[in-house]
Amino acid sequence: MHEQWAYSNRWRWIHPGAKGLLTLCALVSAFVSTNPWFLITAAVLLAVLTVWGAGIPLGQYLRVFLPPLGFLATGGVMIALSVQWPGGGQHFALRLDPSQLPQVAVLVGRSLACLAALLLLALTTPMTDLIFLLRRLKVPAEILDLMTVGYRSVFVFLEAVHDITTAQAARLGYATARTAMRSLGSLIAVLTVQVWQRSLALDQAALARANDGPLFFLENEYADSRRSFAVAAAAGLLLLVPAAVLRVIG
Amino acid sequence: MMTQPILALQDVSFTYPDGSRGLTHCTLEVARGSRTAILGDNGAGKTTLCLHLNGILRPQSGQVLWNGSPLDYSRRGLKQLRSRVGLVFQNPDAQLLSASVREDVSFGPMNLGWDHGIIRERVEKSLAAVGLSELAEKPVHNLSFGQKKRVCLAGVLAMQPEVIILDEPFSSLDVGMRRDLHSILESLSAAGITVLICSHDLDFAYEWADRWHIIEAGQLAASYGMAEVPQVFTHLTALGLGIPKVAELYQELVNAEVLPPFTASPRSHADLLLLIRQLRNAVHRNTGRSR
């Protein structure tokens, strides 16, 4: 699971703010630039940085990177084609519209650059660090509490779903389409009750540890964060400046 | 003169909103520095009792006493109580709030508003105390059940409580993890912490505790010091608890005159084995000498 790499990559202990800054610069440069070559180069650079820099295995990276390309390809093709509806002596026709190709190239390039930028952050930073970053950025505590408990609960309920479906399958609960529907229904019913019970239990557990307000945790310490920010800012400028220059001259 | 109990329930009754019984006129005392086992069947009211001692539930009648004074249920009073009485629940997944081990352990101390430097130090010490220092960077969802239980305990230890209550700490633990937890409990008692354990594991309770409170139908049915236990086997059986295996076996061996009655009955399997081996060695020496 790619989530695991967020905890064990080489950039794990780089300040999440620095990684966030680089991602932000990359995203802004992708929106500023209208040059497909620049956008594709930026995407490749960001991907190389994530794979070689942070040490995310290439196979793992592609497994996350490739699925969105399906949507992108569909979108690109839809824009590149023009449709001729029947009428006025014309038949129905579907043909490639060359005038749309530059627009498709920018769309594809921009999407790839944005995807690579977001993956750089998502694959190298655990959710708990992202929540820490958002807390620093003064996101309201209620949203952060929901994110904290929500993220933790995802795994608790995934485990519950796995246990329940295994128990159901062991009693032929998914043997036919009909029983599968019934099993799925009872799975949802059981989980609904569990969500309710567990939310009460979590509330009691928080109270037992003297909590009476927002959830606060000790923040991680990051070594040499000033240097990380400087490097991230420099790398960000390397993307922003060419993007801006190309936009002005091109 | 008896010293003041650190925690006490006086005639406490509590019924849940759905009408199910929690506690009915329950009165009991917990001595400072003691190892108390709360025994009873499922549904007897053990967990409800724990929730009262930590101030999460409030008695509908009767009162809970801390060092002889009734609990203060104001926001400040509860915070103070909860900093002194730590509660470790049965299911770790129902109490770990953060996905990061270190963050979760820091949660209690953060709520107490301590200085961050002190919290950092306490978190590391607590993780070391439960043997989890090396897993502190791992996400909680990649830990085993036993490791998650230890994170819960570390989260309570970090608050430096005077009393620690553990609800069924041994459920679903394998042999190795039980042994580890047992030695952690020993070190807590050695540090002067009052430890309360809710359990239905009679053998563990006989080995570890110095007092048993037996809860039945929301009430204190009996309370025994460990020296009394061998004398009350019939009562224990009548309460549906059964008899600790070691005590039963030892009693049989004494009755059959295989073992002489010792002043202190062995409380664990290891103690009993040691007695038997010592006896066998003594017999060997004697027969060797008489030849």
B149 with B95, same domain? yes
**Residue B113 shares a structural domain with residue B214:** yes
Q: Is residue B122 part of a domain?
A: yes
pLDDT exceeds 70 at position A193: yes
CA separation for the pair B91, B243 (Å, rounded): 27
**Average pLDDT for residues A145-150, to the nearest whole number?**
92
Over residues A221-225, the mean pLDDT reads 83
- Is pLDDT above 80 for A88? no
pLDDT given for residue A95 in this prediction:
81
Nearest to B95 among A202, A215, A216 (CB): A202
Interface contact flag, A218 B119, Cβ < 8 Å: yes
CA atoms within 13 A on the CB side of B288: 6
Percent of chain A with pLDDT over 70: 99
A217 with B109: Cβ contact below 8 A: no
Q: What is the mean pLDDT of residues A8-12?
A: 90
The verdict on B251 and B189 lying in the same domain is no
For residues B71 and B53, give the distance between their C-alpha atoms in angstroms, rounded to a whole number: 9
**Same domain for B192 and B252?**
no
Task: Evaluate whether residue B239 is within a structural domain.
Answer: no
Tokens at B94, concatenated: 């129902």
- Write down the pLDDT at residue B230: 83
- Whether residues B56 and B112 share a domain: the answer is yes
Check residue B233 and give its pLDDT.
87
Structure tokens at A22: 């680089």
Rounded distance, CA B214 to CA B232, Å? 13
Q: Which of B232, B253, B283 is the last residue of a domain?
A: B232
Chain A touched by B156 (CB under 8 Å): yes
Query: Is residue B238, in this structure, part of any structural domain at all?
Result: no
Q: What percent of chain A has pLDDT over 90?
A: 65
Q: Taking CB atoms and an 8 Å limit, are B103 and A211 in contact across chains? A: no
Q: pTM of whole model > 0.90?
A: no
Domain match, B147 and B263 both: no
- B231/chain A closest Cα distance in angstroms: 38
Task: Please tell me the predicted confidence (pLDDT) of residue A93.
Answer: 80
Q: What is the mean pLDDT of chain A?
A: 90
Indicate if B108 and B248 belong to the same structural domain: no
Task: Write out chain B's pLDDT in tens, 291 residues.
Answer: 458 899 999 999 999 999 999 999 999 999 999 999 999 988 899 999 999 999 999 999 999 999 999 999 999 999 999 999 999 999 998 889 998 999 999 999 999 999 999 999 999 999 999 999 999 988 999 999 999 999 999 999 999 999 999 999 988 888 888 888 999 999 999 999 999 999 888 999 999 999 999 999 999 999 999 888 888 888 888 888 889 999 889 988 888 888 888 777 888 899 899 988 888 888 888 877 766
With an 8 Å Cβ cutoff, are B155 and A209 in contact?
yes
Residue B278 lies in a domain: yes
What is the number of structural domains in chain B? Answer: 2
In DSSP notation, chain A reads -HHHHHHHSTTTTS-HHHHHHHHHHHHHHHHH---HHHHHHHHHHHHHIIIIIS---HHHHHHHHHHHHHHHHHHHHHHHEEEE-SBTTBPPEEEE-GGGHHHHHHHHHHHHHHHHHHHHHHHHS-HHHHHHHHHHTT--HHHHHHHHHHHHHHHHHHHHHHHHHHHHHHTTTTSSHHHHHHHHHHHHHHHHHHHHHHHHHHHHHHHHTT--SS---PPP--TTHHHHHHHHHHHHHHHHHHHHHHHHH-
A196 part of contact set with chain B, CB < 8 Å? no
B11 and B71 inside one domain:
yes
- In-domain check, residue B191: yes
For B131-174, what is each residue's pLDDT tens digit? 999 999 889 999 999 999 999 999 999 999 999 999 999 888 88
Q: What is the distance in angstroms between the Cα of A2 and the nearest Cα belonging to chain B?
A: 13
| pLDDT reported for residue B2 | 59
Q: What is the pLDDT of residue B291?
A: 60
Asked if B95 is an interface residue toward chain A (Cβ–Cβ < 8 A), one would say yes
Q: What are the residue boundaries of the structural domains of chain A, listed by start?
A: 2-125+221-249, 134-208
Q: In A, which residues are within 8 Å of B123 by CB distance?
A: 218
Look at residue B42 and tell me if it is in a domain. yes
Select from B185, B210, B232 the last residue of a domain.
Answer: B232
Same domain membership, residue B267 and residue B159: no
pLDDT digits (tens, 9 = 90+) for A165-185: 999 999 888 989 999 999 999
Interface check B79 vs A, CB under 8 A: yes
Across the strands, what pairs with A101? none
- CB < 8 Å to B48, chain A: none
B24 interfacial to chain A (CB closer than 8 Å): no
CATH number (domain holding residue B212):
3.40.50.300
Bridge partner residues of B85 (DSSP): B163
- Both B150 and B251 in one domain: the answer is no
Q: Does B155 touch chain A (CB under 8 A)?
A: yes
* pLDDT reported for residue B290: 64
**What is the span of the domain harbouring residue B109?**
7-232
How far does the CA of residue B106 sit from the closest CA of chain A (Å)?
A: 6
Query: Of A9-23, A78-92, B15-29, which range is least confident?
Result: A78-92
Does the beta carbon of B217 lie under 8 angstroms from any beta carbon of chain A?
no
Instruction: Give yes or no for A215 touching B (CB within 8 A).
Output: yes
Do B284 and B193 lie in one domain? The reply is no
Same domain flag for B227 and B272: no
The residue among A10, A209, A211 with the most chain B CBs within 10 A of its CB, best to mutate, is A209
Kindly list the distances between the CA atom of residue B8 and the CA atoms of A29, B26, B188, B226, in Å, as whole numbers in the listed order.
66, 10, 21, 20
Decide if the complex's ipTM is over 0.95: no
Q: B48 vs chain A: nearest CA distance in angstroms?
A: 12
